[in-house]
Structure 1
Amino acid sequence: MGVEIERKFLVDETKLPTLNNGYTIKQGYIQTVDQTTVRIRIRDTEAFLTIKGKSEGATRLEFEYPIPLNDAQEMLTNLCHASLVEKTRYLVAHEGHTWEVDIFEGSNQGLLIAEIELESEEEVFSLPEWTAKEVTEDVRYFNANLVENPYTSW
């Protein structure tokens, strides 16, 4: 069984180091029920189907599978509702962990989020100086919700 334990933080852009080697992500969501999500993601030239369960704190079930790029493009166009989430992701090493820093584009322009995946909810980690407020449990910052209620409309 796949489990994701992830914490999310807003980013203070003024303290962020120079970011290198980012990759583009375009993703959409297929409508579901009961707080599960089905995500279609294109990362540069690779594509994935991801199914996520309901969040319980920072933990939820997650299953991800590679799919053909053409299938993903077709699904984004024809099966995903609302708009797409578009962002550039950078991997930033900090004290033994890899942080994913997402700089959003399009209707979520101006939003910067840093995420860290953990082995357990109790795992100890240090916050980089460029992290700001924690938003792990604030549903407005879930990517699946950003398609329905984009950051620029807040």
Structure 2
Amino acid sequence: MALEIERRFLIKNDNWKKFITKKIYIEQGYLSNSLEGWITRIRLTSKNSKIALKKHIKGFTNFEYEYSIPRGDAEKIMLNLSSKIKKERFFLEVKKKSWIIDCFKENNYPLEIAEIELSNEEEDLFLPSFISEEITGMTHYSNFSLANNPFSDWKEDFLKTFNSN
């Protein structure tokens, strides 16, 4: 079984940019229509196309199975999906740990989210200076939710909360 143990955070400044090692552009769409049960996702990057099955287990641990699929198939499926997101993904190396920063585009701009995958839920974690509030488990920040309820539709409430912290 493939387990993903991941924590997610909002970002408070651009200090993360000095740690970039790589960048890719991602477009992904969802075949699922609910956060309940398994979520099925199609993801396109410049180099590959994949289908993934994800299901929340507990805490910040999920099942995640991801498989390569033919590019043409992925593009046809993506054309027929209404729940989609686009983002630039930046890979960072901070104190020998790999971080990911997703900078969302279009209706989810200017949302930026940091992610780190851990070996277990109890792993000690150093939080770099660019990290703000933890959003692990907040489903409205999930990529699936952002595809269905974009940040642009709720960012005024977010900004009031974020600016008061």
Which category describes the TM-score, using the shorter chain as reference length? Answer: over 0.9
What's the CA shift for 1:96?
A: 2.0
Cα-to-partner distance string for 1:16-40 (whole Å, 9 max, x where unaligned): 3344631100000002553320000
Letter in 1 for 2:64: E
Which residue among 73, 76, 81 is the counterpart of 1:74?
Answer: 76
Distance 1:111 1:9 in 2: 11
Find the counterpart in structure 1 of residue 153 from structure 2.
Answer: 153
Q: Do 1:53 and 1:62's aligned partners in 2 also have CA atoms closer than 8 Å? A: yes
Q: What amino acid does structure 2 have at the position aligned with 1:16?
A: W
For the Cα contact (< 8 Å) 1:8–1:136, is it kept in 2?
A: yes
How far apart are residue 153 of structure 1 and its match?
Answer: 0.6
Q: Which residue of 1 aligns with 2:47?
A: 45
Stretches of structure 1 that go unaligned for 5 or more consecutive residues are none
CA deviations over 1:47-96 (Å, ceiling 9, x no partner): 11000012421001110011111111111112x3x331100001000112
TM-score normalized with structure 1 length: 0.92
Q: State the secondary structure of the residue aligned to 2:77.
A: helix
Query: Structure 2 CA distance, aligned partners of 1:53 and 1:21?
Result: 28
TM-score (norm 2): 0.86
Letter aligned with residue 44 of structure 2: I
Name the aligned partner's letter for residue 17 of structure 2. P
Aligned residue in 2 for 1:59: 61
Distance in 2 separating the partners of 1:39 and 1:91: 21
Does structure 2 conserve the Cα–Cα contact (< 8 Å) formed by 1:108 and 1:151? Answer: yes
* Structure 2 gap ranges (5+): 155-165
Report if the CA contact (8 A) 2:27-2:45 is conserved. yes
CA RMSD of aligned residues (A): 1.5
* Comparing 19-28 and 86-95, the one that deviates more: 19-28
- In the alignment, is the contact (CA less than 8 A) between 2:60 and 2:137 conserved in 1? yes
Aligned pair in 2 of structure 1 residues 48, 134: CA closer, same or farther (>3 Å)?
A: same
User: Are the equivalent residues in 2 in contact too, given 1:32–1:38 (CA < 8 A)?
Assistant: no
Q: In structure 2, what is the equivalent of residue 107 of structure 1?
A: 107
User: Percent of aligned pairs with the same residue?
Assistant: 34
SS at the partner of 1:21? Answer: strand
One-letter code aligned to 1:13: N
Contact 2:32 2:41 in 1 (8 A): no
Partner of 1:26: 27
CA contact 2:84–2:148 (8 Å) conserved in 1: no
